[in-house]
Homo-oligomer: A and B are copies of this chain.
Amino acid sequence: MKRRPSPEATAAWTRLTRVQTRVLGAVEQDLKKAGFPPLAWYDALHELSRAPGGELRPVELERQMLIPQYSTSRLIDRLVEEGLAVRRECQRDKRGQYVEITEAGRELQKNMWSAYGAAIERHIGSKLTDADAATLRDLLDRLGCSCDGAGAPDTVSAR
Interface residues of A (CB under 8 A from B): 1-25, 66, 114, 117-118, 120-121, 123-125, 127-128, 130-137, 139-145, 147, 150-159
Contacts and interface: CB of A to CB of B under 8 A. Distances in A.
A20 B134 CA distance: 17
Interface SS of chain A: helix
B16 A23 contact: yes
A150 B11 contact: yes
Contacts of A156: 13-14, 17-18
Nearest to A158: B17
A157 B157 CA distance: 20
This chain: how many copies in the complex? 2
A24 B14 contact: no
A147 B15 contact: yes
A16 B140 contact: yes
Contacts of A159: 17, 21, 24-25
A135 B114 CA distance: 31
Contact of A150 (B10, B16, B22): B10
B143 A66 contact: no
B13 A120 contact: yes
A143 B14 CA distance: 13
A4 to B, nearest CB: 5
Contacts of A125: 3, 5-6, 9
Contacts of A131: 8
